Amino acid sequence: MSYMDDYKFWLEDAYFDDATKKELKEIADNEAEIEDRFYKELEFGTGGLRGVIGAGTNRMNVYTVRKATQGLANYIVKQNGQKKGVAIAYDSRFMSPEFADEAALCLAANGIKAYVFDELRPTPELSFALRTLGCISGIVVTASHNPPEYNGYKVYWEDGAQVTAPKDKEIITEVKAVTDYHTVKTMPKEEAIAAGLYEVIGEAIDDKYMAELKKQIIHPEIITKMAEDIKIVYTPFHGTGNKPVRRILKELGFKNVYVVPEQELPDPKFTTLEYPNPEDPKAFTLALKLAKEKNADIVLATDPDADRLGIYALDTKSGEYVPFTGNMSGMLIADYILRERKATGTMPVNPALVKTIVTTNMADPIAEKYGVKLIEVLTGFKYIGEQIKFFEQTGSNNYVFGLEESYGCLAGTHARDKDAVVAVMCLCEVAAWCKANGKTVWDRMLEMYEEYGYFKEDLYTITLKGIDGSKQIQAIMDKLRANPPKAFGDLKVIAMRDYDKDVVTDIATGATTPTGLPKSNVLYFELTNDSWCCARPSGTEPKIKFYMGVKGTSLEDAKAKNEQLTNELKALI
């Protein structure tokens, strides 16, 4: 059918409710809008769904959520997993509770029990909950840090990680096979509850989650010693982090935790923010104002589903607060954990540090110093979670820490996704240790630069929306593959990794070796002078991302090298 045929079907078929039809009638004279809403099905990708909320096949609504869930239910039944059930969590966005219920009632109608949280919860707690309950799968209704008009739907499997190959493709196949909305099952909530197929969960899981987080604390005595002295400003960005973050810090003994009042409570409009993303400096405006009033040591922010952490730390020399990238905060925590685990004799045998291919190369000298195996995986924390599963299956290594550049990390194995709640806890322990040793978190970061090298990374993003956007993005990737650059300015290309073809090509010799990682539409250029650049289309947004990294001799040198590499990249594309 054409997009106009689909539009008419939604307007006329009795399956769709009056509110949906009313919304669609209001765009009757706007063919461009009709086309955008109906020119395709909202794609169920390897992570699930994400899109603008509204009526239409290319939108997040109860019908697209229900249809995707029917596909997931069909897959679960084929895996004989229906008796294990599915855990469901949701965030503070528009329609999140409604989408969570639609998914639960579709599952229930398929004979699969749904465990639904009583109110909003962080994404990592869903990962923890489904493993604690012994579920076959999990669903989180969230659009993470996207603008308010978005929502999403992420699928997890029984190991607690987002679905990876081959199950991701198998689930996608089942979802695509559901072509008739009338075949999608659902049932009244009262009947699902009465049949024991809909169970509300909450406090008991929270308590177990908190207990697991506390196991990652290495020096509780330092926290106790510094609890009165250290000052922490925190903002949950109107999201799910508010209660669990405040609870864990209180139970650990931190006395001076100041929450940004304007951003404390859930708000699906994210009224105080242009963009609820801890990577955006403007998002910290209110938190930094409060930090200066309180003379805080550190400023922390979790994104709406509390899987990512952004931080600022006080520089006592300038009196200003310094922003940390995800690479910086991740390395700060990693170095602390590895150092203190080794010093206290609590490092497991065959320890492993896991990072993605676009995460800072500072991880290499840190892992080498502490005798820890460093493992690189594709971009996406699900691949870090997958490594934990592999370690458990093979006994080859013991996971200690994992991180990705986009402000996500995980200490411990209680969850199999990035966890901003445990990251807050670890960062605050680092801050307490620093204060006890007469230094700031920023001082410690400078010490690490001096020891390991002045690594600096950046991200350049091109957004190409609309029907032609994905074609333009693919054209850029095709051009780079067909005519790979030999240099980025003065930086020569040493090797090119094509993860789609599973080939690493040595530019000087032409020799090829396999990448050793799953197939993915990613190109990675190893450059001279410890530099690199990586091109990767986003899996969830209409963007192509260019990651890059350099190593300098000082902060200023690293910044200059980074700017030069960015300019050379822009000139190339």
Residues carrying an active site annotation: 144
**Which of 421, 418, 424, 334 is CA-nearest to residue 381?**
418
Rounded CA separation 91/119 (Å):
8
Which helix H or strand E contains 152, and what residues bound it?
Answer: strand 150-157
Q: Of 73, 82, 63, 87, which Cα lies nearest the Cα of 138?
A: 87
Position 432, amino acid:
A
What sign does the dihedral 347-375-549-547 (CA atoms) show?
A: negative
Check if the beta carbon of residue 10 is closer than 8 Å to that of residue 56. Answer: yes
User: Environment class of residue 301 by beta-carbon count within 10 Å: exposed (0-12), middle (13-18) or buried (19+)?
Assistant: buried
Residues 6+ apart with CB under 8 A from 132: 205, 208
Other C-beta atoms closer than 10 Å to the C-beta of 118 total 11
Three-class SS of 39-107: CCCCCCECCEEEEEECCCCCCECHHHHHHHHHHHHHHHHHCCCCCCCEEEEECCCCCHHHHHHHHHHHH
Measured between alpha carbons, how far is 394 from 565 in angstroms, rounded to an integer? 41
Sign of the CA dihedral running 123, 129, 135, 141:
negative
Closest CA to 463 of 356, 532, 540: 540
Contact between 141 and 89 under an 8 Å Cβ cutoff? The reply is: yes
**Alpha carbon distance 72, 162 (integer Å):** 13
Phi, then psi, of 457 in degrees rounded to 5: -125, 160
Torsion angle, alpha carbons of 294, 300, 303, 307, to 10: -150
Are 431 and 225 in contact, with CB atoms under 8 Å apart? Answer: no
Contact 334, 353 (CB under 8 A): yes
Nearest 10 degrees: Cα torsion 290, 292, 293, 299: 40
Give 112's DSSP letter. Answer: -
- Alpha carbons within 13 A on the beta-carbon side of 345: 0
- Count of C-beta atoms within a 10 Å radius of residue 180: 8
Chain centroid, CA 559 distance in Å: 26
Q: How many CB atoms lie within 10 A of CB 349?
A: 7
Q: Can you state the percent helix, strand and coil of the chain, rounding each to 5?
A: 40, 25, 35
